[in-house]
């Protein structure tokens, strides 16, 4: 039994999914289904699109859902994969829900296209941003946001992604972020962190913070129109960092995660507690693998899906496990 983990924005890259398309009929069918759902050629976007085109949020989100879905379909068709649980990082949660048959794939593709557009248009370009903090714990990251807003009278600013111990992303007003970059001193903390670092992120909007509430309202209208079913296996959601199985609760949490933080560290700790630690990163890149190394490299065994060689390793592991 394997746990499927689906990556979020930032893992996209030109050429994503091409080896699946070239080698597996079910992947080609998935690309056709997705292109039909959105009435444009997603194959061209994923294989030949410029990095700048793929980085547009309204393109990134459908591309990630498509490649993640093609990946899990290939794994299931080729290896008769048994799945015990799934989780997705931000937009990756849609792929987890498609895999668990909570959401219809074409409906999900249309929803994430709207989600990307709504998140992009919620805040005028340049007014919001995100900055990664390294070396802070969750309490320190919250304290830092409160300190910036109070001292600078600029805001909002809040923790947006609890990615792994020591890596927490803040999101909010670009003016607040600029102020933070100019005025950050470890001495503001009662117990200064040993090594704290700030890394501004090259993103087009301030995701997972209150500035996204117009996008959340838009997604509420969209997702209320889409049927949600009971999941075929356990799903951990970003909003609660808990297992959810009620269709109504799955929908509500998916709506709320647009402007709420991604509680990834807690979600992965829950999987560890339940011994759901044999994982496959279903999609392009190795971002999730990198986070799990920092969360608990001993507990988690993670396979990637970026090449035929990667799939071969999964096949060999599944064969060995079944004896």
pLDDT tens track, the chain, 323 positions: 999 999 999 899 999 999 999 999 999 999 999 999 999 999 999 999 898 888 888 999 999 999 999 999 999 999 999 999 999 999 999 999 999 999 999 999 999 999 999 999 999 888 999 999 999 999 999 999 999 999 999 999 999 999 999 999 999 999 999 999 999 999 999 999 989 999 999 888 899 999 999 999 999 999 999 999 999 999 999 999 999 999 999 999 999 999 999 999 999 999 999 999 999 999 999 999 999 999 999 999 999 999 999 999 999 999 998 87
| 171, 128 contact by CB (below 8 A) | yes
- Domain boundaries along the sequence of the chain: 2-122+211-322, 128-203
The answer to whether 65 and 112 are in contact (CB under 8 A) is: yes
**Sheet (strand 197-200) strand order:** 157-164, 167-173, 128-134, 197-200
Cα torsion for 102, 104, 110, 116, to the nearest 10°?
Answer: 30
Count of C-beta atoms within a 10 Å radius of residue 53: 14
Token pair belonging to 318: 């599944």
Q: Active-site residue among 89, 173, 208, 267?
A: 208
List of residues 6+ apart from 139 with CB closer than 8 A:
none
Catalytic residue among 90, 158, 259, 267: 90
90 belongs to the catalytic site: yes
Burial 91-110 (b: 16+ CB within 10 A, else e): bbbbbbbbbbebbbbebbbb
Q: Which backbone phi and psi does 131 adopt, to 5 degrees?
A: -140, 130
> Is 208 among the residues known to form the active site?
yes
Q: CB neighbours of 284 closer than 8 A, spacing ≥ 6?
A: 7, 11, 12, 13, 16, 17, 64, 67, 306
Q: What is the DSSP track for 85-126?
A: EEEESTTHHHHHHHHTTSS-HHHHHHHHHHHHHHHHHSS-TT
Give, in words, the CATH class of 128-203: alpha beta
Classified by CATH at the fold level, domain 2-122+211-322 comes out as Malonyl-Coenzyme A Acyl Carrier Protein; domain 2 (3.40.366)
Token pair of 25 as six digits? 């009929």
215-227 burial, b for 16+ CB within 10 Å, e for fewer? bbebbeebbeeee
For residue 280, the tally of other CB atoms under 10 A from its CB is: 27
Calculate the CA dihedral of residues 290, 293, 294, 296 and round it to 10 degrees.
150
Q: Give the CA radius of gyration of the chain.
A: 19
Two domains, one topology: 2-122+211-322 and 128-203: no
Taken in order 278, 284, 285, 287, is the CA torsion positive or negative?
A: negative
Q: What is the C-alpha separation between 115 and 30, in angstroms, rounded?
A: 20
């Amino acid at each position: 039994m394997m746990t499927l983990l689906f990556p979020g924005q930032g893992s996209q890259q030109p050429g994503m999914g091409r080896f699946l398309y070239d080698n597996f009929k079910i992947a080609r069918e998935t690309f056709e289904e997705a292109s039909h759902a959105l009435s444009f050629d997603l194959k061209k976007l994923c294989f030949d699109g410029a990095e700048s085109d793929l980085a547009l949020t309204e393109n990134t989100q459908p591309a990630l859902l498509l490649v993640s879905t093609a990946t899990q379909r290939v794994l299931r068709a080729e290896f008769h994969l048994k799945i015990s649980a799934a989780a997705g990082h931000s937009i990756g949660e849609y792929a987890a829900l498609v895999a668990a048959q909570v959401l219809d794939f074409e409906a999900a593709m249309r929803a994430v296209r709207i989600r990307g557009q709504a998140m992009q248009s919620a805040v005028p370009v340049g007014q919001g941003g995100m900055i990664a903090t390294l070396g802070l714990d969750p309490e320190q990251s919250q304290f830092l946001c409160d300190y910036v807003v109070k001292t600078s009278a600029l805001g909002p600013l809040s923790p947006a992604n609890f990615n792994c111990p020591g890596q927490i992303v803040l999101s909010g007003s670009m003016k607040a972020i600029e102020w933070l970059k100019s005025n950050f001193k470890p001495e503001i903390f009662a117990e200064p962190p040993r090594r704290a670092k700030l890394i501004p992120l090259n993103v087009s909007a301030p995701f997972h913070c209150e500035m996204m509430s117009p996008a959340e309202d838009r997604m509420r209208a969209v997702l209320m129109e889409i049927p949600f079913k009971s999941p075929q296996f356990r799903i951990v959601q970003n909003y609660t960092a808990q297992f959810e199985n009620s269709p109504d609760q799955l929908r509500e949490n998916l709506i709320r995660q647009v402007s709420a933080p991604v509680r990834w560290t807690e979600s992965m700790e829950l999987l560890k507690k339940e011994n759901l630690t044999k994982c496959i990163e279903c999609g392009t890149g190795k971002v999730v693998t990198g986070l799990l190394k920092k969360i608990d490299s001993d507990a988690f065994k993670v396979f990637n899906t970026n090449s035929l060689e990667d799939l071969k390793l999964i096949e060999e592991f599944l064969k060995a496990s079944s004896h």
